[in-house]
Structure 1
C-alpha cells in the first residue's frame, strides 16, 4: 500500500484562525532556472486544483502561510506541526486521501523536491489578458468562403470520437465505426474538453494553456480553420444553440485571467470579454474566481456559466452582446463540472469542495436546489437513468469518498409523479472500492452504469473501471482491469483508466488508458452488453489519452 493514506488530509488541514504562528523568515532558496521549471510544472500539474494564486478550491490552499515550516514550539493538537520541504515532499509524492493523486510515478525525486520548495515561495501572478491581446492572438486559417459546402469524406461523423492526447498537446479524431485513427491535430496543451457545433460539423477544443481551435470535419481530412488564445489557463467552451442562434457565437471561460470571452462561432473573431472578479456567496472579495463549466441552454438563448470560487452561477443572455444581460444565481463555492438532468431543464453542477450539487432551473432562471453529497463530488457530465425504485436520477462520483451518489430529479411525465417526494435528495449511494472517481456514464440503450477511479492511490483500483447492473444496484460492481486487458507491457507509472464514453449505438464503451509520457497508452473498448474486451487502439501517436467525446452523444448531451 502506498503511504498516501498515512500522509492524509490533516497535513494541510485548516488550523484555528485565532492561533498565531512564528513562521520561518524565508522560503528555501531557488535559482531563477529552478523557479522557471517549477512554475511550468505547477501550471501543468497543480494550478487546476489549487489555483494560479494558490488560494485553493478543489485542492488545499498552498500559500506560504501554510507551506513554510513552522518554527519549533507551535503546538497543534498536542504536536509540533511542520510542513516545510520534507513534509511537502511526502504529500506531493504520495498524495492525500482527499483526492490528490500521488506524483511519485509522474515526477522525479528532484522535481518533487523542486515543487516542495517552490510552493513555499510567494505565488507568481501571471499577466492579465485583454481583448486586444486576444485579437492579436486570433488566426483565421481558412475563411468561411474557402471551406467546403458539403461533407467531402465518407466518415460517419456522428460516431467520431475526439480524444485528448494530454501531454502531446494534440487531439486524435478516431472513426468509431472502424476503430481507426482518422487524424491527429495540434491543439492547445492538455485539451480539457471538446465541444461540437449544432450541426456536428465543427469540433471546438480548449487547452489548459488557453488556446482554442475550430476543426472542420467536412474537409477530406479534418482541418483546423481558426484559433485564438483566451488567456493563460482555460477549461471550457460552448456554442450558442438556441433556435436562430445556432453556432453564431462561441463562449470560452478562463481560469486565468478570471473572465469569460465571447467570439464569432465560425471564425473565433473576438467580440467581448467579461471579468468574473467579485464577491463570493459569503460576501468576501475574491481575486481569482475561475470560470469552470459552461453549457448552452436549449430552453433560452443563454449560456450557463459556473464561477468556481464565488459560487455564483451566471445565465448569460447572448441576444444582445452590446447590452449584455446576466442573471446571477447564488449557490455554493467551488463550482466545478456538471451536466443536464434527464429532462434537459435542470443543469446539475458540483460545488465540490463544499460537498454539494447545485441544480439550476433554466426555465425559471432560479436555483432549484442545493443537494448535500459525500465528499468532493466530481461528476464530469454525470449520468441519467431511471432507477427501479426511485425513478429519474442523476449520478455523480466523488474524488474524496468511495461512493457514487444518485440524486432524484423532477420529471413532467405523469408516470413519474409518484417519485416527486424524493426530488433533490440523494436516494442511494453505490459502493465503490475506493475514492478517486472522475467520471460516470451510462446510455439510454444500456443496462449498465460505468464508473472509473483514476485518482485512487491503489494501482489496481486506478487501472480499473467498475460496472454496475442497473437492474440490481445493490450488487457489487464488476471490476474490469483495463490495464491488464490492454495487453500492453506493465510500466513503472500507474496507467490510469479514465472516462468511460459510449459510441453512437450505445453498445460499446471506450476507456482511456492514461500512462506516462514515455509509456505506450491505449484506448480500450468493451462490449457494453457482455463486458468483454472488443478492441485495443494503440499507436505511437496515442500519448497520455484522457477525455473522449463522441460527436453524437456530446451534441445531444447523452449521458
Structure 2
C-alpha cells in the first residue's frame, strides 16, 4: 500500500468502518475513504465521479452492496478492473463496497499550497550527463505507459525503447499508473510524465531518470509543454482546475478553477479535458469539458492567465490536435457528435464537422494523401450511424469520407512513410483484439492486426518503419510490427501497457505529418 497524504486533501473526510466483533482485525478500524484513494482513484477519480472507469458513489450506482463486493473481489473481464481478492482482505472489500454504495460523490480540493508542498527533488541535477547513457538517438525513443494490473507501484512505470533497434533502454517507476508523456520541444533531454492521479514527473531523457515530481491535482491526465519550453500546463478532473508551472523547476505559478456557462447557458463546474500548446503565440488552449468552451491561457501573465474564453464550441469537449500550420485546433465534442474547428489566431469557432458517435481523437492524426492534408477523427461510441472513422481535409475542413470500421475506435496513428493509418478498435468484446489498417489510397480498411488482449494506442517510430501497439488487459505485451508487411518483428511482456508516445512528436507537431524540425539531436 502507498501512503495517502490525507492531511493535504481539503474536503476528504474519511469514512471509518469498524469491523464487527469476532472478525479478524476487529480491533482496528478500516478507513474506507483511504482505501479508495489508494486503490481506486486511478480509474474512478478521487471524487468518485468517474474517470476512465464509471462513477462509484451512492447516486450513480444501482448495483447492490453484495454485487459490488463480488465485482471488487473477482474483477471484471475485458476491462482494467482486476480481481482484488488476495490483495485486499475480505473485511477491506466489504468496507469499500459499503462506502461506495452509501456515500455521495466527494468534492475534494487541492490548493496552490498543496501543490507547492508536494514538490520533490528526486535527483541532484548539478552534474547531468551531457549525452544519452544508452546507445542511440534520443529522438528515436518510444515511451510505453505500463499501468500495472493494480494501477500503482511496484508495477507502474514508463518503459523506454529505442525505435531503431526495438530494444528496451530504460524505465522510470511511478507511484501510480502513468497516462501521458509530453516532450520539451526545445531541449531534447526533457520529458514530462503525468499519472492518472495527477503526479507530474520531470524526466531526464539522457539518464532516463525522474529528477523532480509534483502533484498537480487528484485525478486527470492532461499536460502540455509550451512552445518555448519554459512552461508546463496541467489539467485536472478532480478538482476542476488547470495549473501553470515553471517547466524547469516544477514550481507552480498559478491555479485556475474551471467554471462557466455551458452550451445551454447554465452555470456549471467543469473538469479540464485536453490542454494543448499553441506555437502561434506561445499560449495554451484548454478544452473546458462540461462548459463546451475553449480557454486561451497566456503563461507570461500568471496572475491573470486566462485571456480569452471561446463559448459554445461544443456540448462536451474532450481531446484535440492541431493543423499543420498550428493555427487550427480540431476538437472532439462527445455529446454533439461532431469535431469543432477552432481558429487559435482569430480565437473563434469557424466550423463544425459532423462526426460519428461520441467523437474521440486521441492525439489525432493528419497525413498527406494525394496532395491533401487529411485529418482522421475516431469515434469511441456506438449508435445507429454505425461505427465510422471520420476523415476531412485539414485545410478546407470539408468532409472527405466516413470510413466504416468494425467497432468503436480511440487513437489513430499515421506516418508519412507508412502506407496505413492505424486505428484501435475498443469495443468491449472480442473486437478489441484488433487494430484496423486504413489504406491511404483507398481510404478503406485493408488489413487487420489481431493479438491476445486489448490492442490499443498504436504509434509509429520516428522513421515510420515500425508500428508499436500495446496489448493491454489480459494481453500484457508490447507488440512491434513492420509497418509495410505488418509482420510482428518483436514483442515484450509488460504488465498492462497503455499509451505509447514517440519522442519524434516534437518534430511532427501532429502525428502523421512530416518532421518540421530536427530538434533533439544530442
Common topology (TM > 0.5): yes
Measure the CA separation in 2 of the matches of 1:506 and 1:226: 32
Tell me by how many angstroms 1:527 deviates. 0.9
Aligned pair partner of 1:223 in 209, 219, 229: 209
Measure the CA separation in 2 of the matches of 1:60 and 1:515: 17
* Map 1:62-461 → 2, pairs under 5 A: 64-65=58-59, 67-68=61-62, 103=79, 106-107=82-83, 119-125=100-106, 127-142=108-123, 145-151=126-132, 153-167=134-148, 168-198=155-185, 199-218=187-206, 221-241=207-227, 246-287=228-269, 289-330=270-311, 331-387=313-369, 391-401=372-382, 403-411=387-395, 420=396, 423-425=397-399, 427-435=400-408, 437-453=409-425, 455-459=426-430, 461=431
Measure the CA separation in 2 of the matches of 1:285 and 1:507: 49
Q: Contact conserved, 2:330 with 2:340, CA < 8 A, in 1?
A: yes
Q: Aligned with 2:281: secondary structure?
A: coil
Residue number in structure 2 paired with 1:45: 43
Provide, for residues 225-256 of structure 1, a one-character-per-residue CA deviation record: whole Å limited to 9, x for no partner: 11111011121111111xxxx21111111111
Measure the CA separation in 2 of the matches of 1:352 and 1:112: 34
Instruction: Looking at secondary structure, tell me which structure has more strand per residue.
Output: 2
Aligned pair partner of 2:456 in 471, 495, 498: 498
Tell me by how many angstroms 1:466 deviates. 1.0
Provide, for residues 332-391 of structure 1, a one-character-per-residue CA deviation record: whole Å limited to 9, x for no partner: 232221212344321112122332222211121111222231111121112213455x94
Q: Aligned with 2:315: secondary structure?
A: coil
Tell me by how many angstroms 1:185 deviates. 1.0
Aligned pair partner of 1:510 in 461, 464, 468: 468
Distance 1:444-1:278 versus aligned 2 partners, 3 A rule: same
TM-score (norm 2): 0.80
Measure the CA separation in 1 of the matches of 2:240 and 2:81: 32
Q: Aligned with 1:134: secondary structure?
A: helix
Q: Contact conserved, 2:466 with 2:480, CA < 8 A, in 1?
A: yes
Q: Contact conserved, 2:232 with 2:246, CA < 8 A, in 1?
A: yes
Q: Aligned with 1:354: secondary structure?
A: coil
Q: Aligned with 2:221: secondary structure?
A: strand
Gaps of 5+ in 1: 1-28, 69-82, 412-419, 484-494
Distance 1:399-1:361 versus aligned 2 partners, 3 A rule: same
Measure the CA separation in 2 of the matches of 1:143 and 1:103: 40
TM-score (norm 1): 0.75
Distance 1:275-1:469 versus aligned 2 partners, 3 A rule: same
Measure the CA separation in 1 of the matches of 2:304 and 2:43: 38
Q: Contact conserved, 1:200 with 1:552, CA < 8 A, in 2?
A: no
Q: Contact conserved, 1:509 with 1:528, CA < 8 A, in 2?
A: yes
Q: Aligned with 1:256: secondary structure?
A: coil
Provide, for residues 152-196 of structure 1, a one-character-per-residue CA deviation record: whole Å limited to 9, x for no partner: 554211010111111222111111122221111122422111001
Measure the CA separation in 2 of the matches of 1:351 and 1:178: 39
Measure the CA separation in 1 of the matches of 2:77 and 2:322: 28
Q: Contact conserved, 2:79 with 2:473, CA < 8 A, in 1?
A: no
Aligned pair partner of 2:502 in 541, 544, 550: 550
Pair 1:472 & 2:439 matched: no
Measure the CA separation in 2 of the matches of 1:153 and 1:67: 50
Measure the CA separation in 2 of the matches of 1:339 and 1:196: 15
Provide, for residues 457-486 of structure 1, a one-character-per-residue CA deviation record: whole Å limited to 9, x for no partner: 222x21221112111124x43221122xxx
Aligned pair partner of 1:527 in 471, 475, 482: 482
Residue number in structure 2 paired with 1:18: none
Tell me by how many angstroms 1:35 deviates. 6.0
Question: After the TM superposition, which of the residue ranges 158-167 and 368-377 deviates more from structure 2?
Answer: 368-377
Measure the CA separation in 1 of the matches of 2:208 and 2:200: 16
Instruction: Looking at secondary structure, tell me which structure has more helix per residue.
Output: 1
Distance 1:58-1:430 versus aligned 2 partners, 3 A rule: farther
What's the Cα RMSD here?
3.3
Measure the CA separation in 2 of the matches of 1:142 and 1:320: 30
Q: Aligned with 1:304: secondary structure?
A: strand
Distance 1:356-1:59 versus aligned 2 partners, 3 A rule: farther
Distance 1:373-1:89 versus aligned 2 partners, 3 A rule: farther
Provide, for residues 400-437 of structure 1, a one-character-per-residue CA deviation record: whole Å limited to 9, x for no partner: 135333342353xxxxxxxx4xx254x312111122x2
